[in-house]
Amino acid sequence: METRDELPRFLIVCEGEKTEPRYFEALAAELHLSVNVRIEGLGDNTDSLVERAVELKNEKEAYYAQAWCVFDRDSFPANRFNRAIQVAQGNGLFVAYSNEAFELWYILHFEYLQAGLHRDDYKTKLTKCLGKRYEKNSVTMYRELKLKQSTAIRHAIKLLLACDPPNPEQDNPSTTVHLLVQELNKFRRE
């Protein structure tokens, strides 16, 4: 039987300090994954996040089966967003981005959102979808949304297919968070 240290390792480095890490921590705990998952919430800009993720991935004692960066488009200059994706991928990292905010992933659990929202409008929209006030950094979001995960994945795929050719900096709304969620789901313990 494999010990915890012998399991494959995932690295997830998030731009946000709380929202994204709390979601992925809850997902990992709930699924009882057959991988070790290291989640870092940096609260830093996209460029610094990618640099730090590359450093963590390349630590001598660390070997990660997969290493991911999770970040938003935010209000960064457009060319920086695409450049961050290219630098991450060029360094062997996978990217789970959202244009414009991570909360897009939450909304996709309820509906297909075709029109871009300003990041300030996501809280209002989520409050309506949840039927209660949306609290950023909530520790319960994964649990509240998990039964609708397949809907969110379907909606995220549909959004990406509508972007032809894809241009993440301009494709608002769009997200690849579902790719990371799908990867983690592959390691669900039965």
Q: pLDDT for 97-155, tens place per residue? A: 999 899 999 999 999 998 888 878 999 999 999 999 999 999 999 999 999 999 999 99
Q: What is the mean pLDDT of the chain?
A: 91
What pLDDT score was predicted for residue 5? 57
Report angle CA 12, 114, 122 to the nearest 5 degrees: 60
Half-sphere exposure (Cβ direction) of 106: Cα atoms closer than 13 Å = 28
Helices 46-57 and 78-90 pack at an angle, to 10 degrees, of: 0
pLDDT digits (tens, 9 = 90+) for 45-104: 888 899 999 999 999 788 899 999 999 987 677 778 999 999 999 999 999 999 989 999
How many angstroms separate the first and last alpha carbons of the chain? 15
